[in-house]
Amino acid sequence: MGRWLRERLAHVTGSQLAGLLVPVVAVLAAFLIGAMMLLALGANPLEGYQALFEGAFGDIDALADTALKSMPLLLVGVGICIAFRASVINIGGEGQMIAGAIVSTLVALGCGDLPRLILVPLVLIGGLVGGAIWGAIPGALKAYSGVNEILSTIMLNIVAVQLMNFLLRDLIMDPYEKDHGRLPQTQRLSENSDLPLLPGGTRLHIGILVAVGMAGLAYVLLWRTSLGYRIRAVGHSGAASRYAGMPVKRTIVAALTFSGAMCGLAGAILVFGSESHRFVTDGSSVGFTGSAGFNGIVTALFGGLHPLWTIPSSFFFGGLQFGANAMQRAVQVPAALIVGLNGLVVVFVVSSDRMRRAVSESWGQGREIASERSQQRDSDQTQVETREEAGS
């Protein structure tokens, strides 16, 4: 009975759809657990979720704010896609964002007089460069010294946070704050470095176009260039790639460098697209990045480690983050719930990755069985004969 059903379903949907269903089911499961938590905390889950989605996607302003929230998630997510495709686990998104923000801020402070047409691209390139450096270090350490990239990226996150705290309290601190308030932040950065707003009267700026463009470029990189081919080959099997004569070490460094560059760009956009047009710290990385360095892993996984699918995925999670504030106002449950649910989504998607494979394999078999049913008896016969021959 079960087998019959599987065969029918495989005929209708195919294994492709089974793969797409997994992330959706993961989110639904996380939301179900979230609903139970809301109930336990004495809030009405339906009311809470309604406020969440209306707050995130309800009108044009909400959509613009959601897009703003999803920008760093998308860029980090694209970076994570590149690294994970090479089987390099980049946990250093937070540090790479900070590094990008630092370099781009230095550019804006150093060449604030340049015209906007030059300065805006320049600060964005600064972000790319800063993140690339912060990604290349663990890449080189992994490739040439065998240092586990998970650990080196975590350590470099700590170094970047402290570097940011030092710079914002000392070398590039706002001179006014130095004398008065002692808030760790830069002065208002040059107006020529402000990211231009998009028409439409919202707070949305060109950062969103840059982020979507980068997702497209990353797709081209991964599937239309030989470097991208090498990245994916190394990700599948380092040994086989080495045997095929590919420069495995250089490929690993390249993957982490590109990955870091995307995160660095996210950091730069956070600074120059911010309301205050300053680089501000509260002493922790989360205070600056809003955990985007980690949450980008969620959006990338949810997008199936595909840069283009990461676009809607980031928009969805950006919406959850932004809508969480509306939920907090409506049912008095802190927005931190969404951070926890994001964690559950990661856990479910990664756990079900295996299930996805298992499902598509068994469904694939189901289809094979269905099409080859007519020949089954014959092949069974042959198998028995072969076995007997082998035995004798």
Partner 1 sequence: MSDFFTMASLVFVVGSGIRLATPFLLAGLGETIGQRSGVLNLGVDGVMLLGAFGAYWTILETRSPVAGILVGIAVGLAMGLVYGVITVTMRAEQGISGIGIFLFGLGISDLLFQKKVGTPIPIRGFGDLHVPVLADIPKVGEMFFQHSVLVYVAFLLVPAVAFLLNRTTFGLNVRAVGENPAAADSLGVSVARVRYTTILLANGLAGLAGAVLAAELGIFQQNLTNGQGFIAIALVYFGAWRPVGVMGGALLFGMVSATVLQWKTLGLVSGAASSLTAMAPAVLTILALVVISRTVGQPSALTRPFDRGH
By C-beta, is 207 or 307 nearer to partner 1? 307
Which residues 347-376 are close enough to bind partner 1 by CB under 8 A? Answer: 347, 350-355
Name the residue among 350, 347, 353, 290 with its Cα closest to residue 320.
290
Beta bridge partners of 185: 280
By C-beta, is 123 or 263 nearer to partner 1? 263
330 binds partner 1 (CB under 8 A): no
Say how far residue 98 (Cα) sits from the centre of its chain.
16
What does the block give as tokens for 247? Answer: 């420069």
User: Are 300 and 182 contacting, i.e. CB atoms less than 8 angstroms apart?
Assistant: no
User: Which span sits near partner 1 by CB under 8 A: 103-111, 112-120, 157-165, 266-274?
Assistant: 157-165
C-alpha dihedral sign at 120, 113, 280, 60: negative
User: Are 138 and 153 contacting, i.e. CB atoms less than 8 angstroms apart?
Assistant: yes
336 binds partner 1 (CB under 8 A): yes
- Closest approach, Cβ 168 to partner 1, in A, equals 8
By C-beta, is 105 or 352 nearer to partner 1? 352
Residue 374: helix, strand or coil by DSSP?
A: helix
Query: Which listed residue (78, 301, 320, 327) binds partner 1 by CB under 8 A?
Result: 301
Q: How far apart are CA 268 and CA 271, in angstroms?
A: 5
Q: How far apart are CA 188 and CA 20, in angstroms?
A: 45
- Closest approach, Cβ 182 to partner 1, in A, equals 9
Query: Which listed residue (291, 310, 314, 321) binds partner 1 by CB under 8 A?
Result: 291
333 binds partner 1 (CB under 8 A): yes
Query: Which listed residue (190, 241, 295, 360) binds partner 1 by CB under 8 A?
Result: 295
φ/ψ of residue 225, rounded to 5: -125, 160
Cβ partners under 8 Å of residue 45, min gap 6:
34, 35, 36, 38, 39
Q: How far apart are CA 307 and CA 299, in angstroms?
A: 10
305 binds partner 1 (CB under 8 A): no
By C-beta, is 88 or 124 nearer to partner 1? 88
By C-beta, is 233 or 320 nearer to partner 1? 320
- Number of residues near partner 1 (by CB under 8 A): 53
Q: How far apart are CA 197 and CA 273, in angstroms?
A: 9
By C-beta, is 61 or 170 nearer to partner 1? 170
Name the residue among 390, 360, 388 with its Cα closest to residue 19.
360
181 binds partner 1 (CB under 8 A): no
Which residues 3-62 are close enough to bind partner 1 by CB under 8 A? Answer: 37, 41
Which residues 65-84 are close enough to bind partner 1 by CB under 8 A? Answer: none
Residue 189: helix, strand or coil by DSSP?
A: coil
DSSP one-letter code for 278: S
User: Which span sits near partner 1 by CB under 8 A: 6-14, 58-66, 144-152, 248-256?
Assistant: 144-152
Q: Which residues bind partner 1 (CB under 8 A)?
A: 37, 41, 89, 91, 141, 145-148, 150-152, 154-159, 162-163, 165-166, 169-170, 173, 284, 286, 291, 294-295, 297-298, 301, 333-334, 336-347, 350-355
